[in-house]
Amino acid sequence: MSLLYYSRMRFTTHVLPLLLSSSLPAHVVSVFGPGRDTTFIATDLSLRSPKNYGFINSGSHVAYLATFFMEYLVAQNPGKLALIHYYPGLVLSEGYQDPTFPFWFRGIFKYGAPLIKLLLPTLNGKESGERTLFNASPRFPPRSADGKAASSKSVGSIGVAESSDGIVGGGAYRVNFDNEQVATPKQYKKLREEGWLDKAVNHTLKAFEEIEAGRVFTG
C-alpha cells in the first residue's frame, strides 16, 4: 500500500499536540485523491499480494483508509480539529518547465496545455493555492462536541460542507479541486455496518506501533 497514506496520517498524529494547543480550530489539508475509492479488498488492506497491488487498487485503499482515519481523529477531537482530504486537479504551473525535466516532458505541458485543459480538471498555480487555503475556512469546521450537524448551515453565501459520514460540519471532508464535496460512495454504508472504520483505524495504529518499535509491519 502507498507509503503516502501511512506517512501523512502519522505526520498528522505527531503534530496533533501542537495543533490542539494553537489558535483553534486547527485544519489539516492532505492532498491526494479522495474520489479514487472504487475497490476495497478486505482480506488484504496493505495490498501485500502481487495480484492485488497496483496503481488503481493502491489509490483506492488510500482513499478508503484516509476517510476512515480522518473520521476517527475528528471524533476524538470534537470542536478542535478539521481534516480535509483534497484533490487539487492538475496544477499547470511553471514547475513543469523545470530544465531538469526531459525536453519532451516540458513540451507536452507547454504546447499541449490547451488539450490537457479539455481532458482534465486543471488550475493555475495561483488559483490552486487560493483554493487549497480555502479548505481551512469556516466552510469546513471541526465536528461539534455532540457530534450532530452544525447549527449554522451557511457561511456567508455558501453552505457548511458535509463530512464524509454525512454530517453537515462533521469535521472530516472529501473535497474536489473546486472546493465542492467529493461524494462518499454507497459502499461505505455497508463497510461501516461491518465495523470497517474500527478495523481500518486499528490497522493503521498497528502499523505505527510496529514501525516505531523497529519491527517490520506485516499487516
Q: Could you tell me the residue ranges of all domains in the chain?
A: 3-90+139-212
What's the confidence (pLDDT) of residue 2? 72
What's the confidence (pLDDT) of residue 153? 56
CA distance 217 to 196: 20
What's the confidence (pLDDT) of residue 176? 95
Q: Nearest Cα to 27, choosing from 45, 12, 41?
A: 12
CA distance 204 to 52: 19
Q: Are 40 and 64 in contact (CB under 8 A)?
A: yes
CA distance 129 to 153: 25
What's the confidence (pLDDT) of residue 110? 86
pTM here is 0.88
| Torsion from C-alpha of 39, 45, 48, 53, nearest 10 degrees | 20
What's the confidence (pLDDT) of residue 151? 54
Q: How far is CA 129 from the centre of its chain?
A: 17
Cell 499487516, located at residue: 219
- Name 28's bridge partners: 83
Residue 154: how many other CB atoms lie within 10 Å = 11
Provide the grid cell at 199.
Answer: 478495523
What's the confidence (pLDDT) of residue 150? 63
What's the confidence (pLDDT) of residue 218? 85
Low pLDDT (below 70) residues in the chain: 1, 147-156
What's the confidence (pLDDT) of residue 155? 63
The set of residues, in sequence order, having a beta carbon less than 8 Å from that of 72 and lying 6+ positions away, is: 197, 201
What's the confidence (pLDDT) of residue 159? 85
Output the DSSP codes for 100-161: TS-HHHHHHHHHSHHHHHHHS-EEEHHHHHHHHHHTTSTTSPPPPTT----S--EETTEEPP
Phi, psi of 114 (to 5 degrees): -60, -40
Output the DSSP codes for 149-193: --S--EETTEEPPBPTTS-BT-SEEEE-TTSPBPPPPTHHHHHHH
Provide the grid cell at 98.
Answer: 523545470
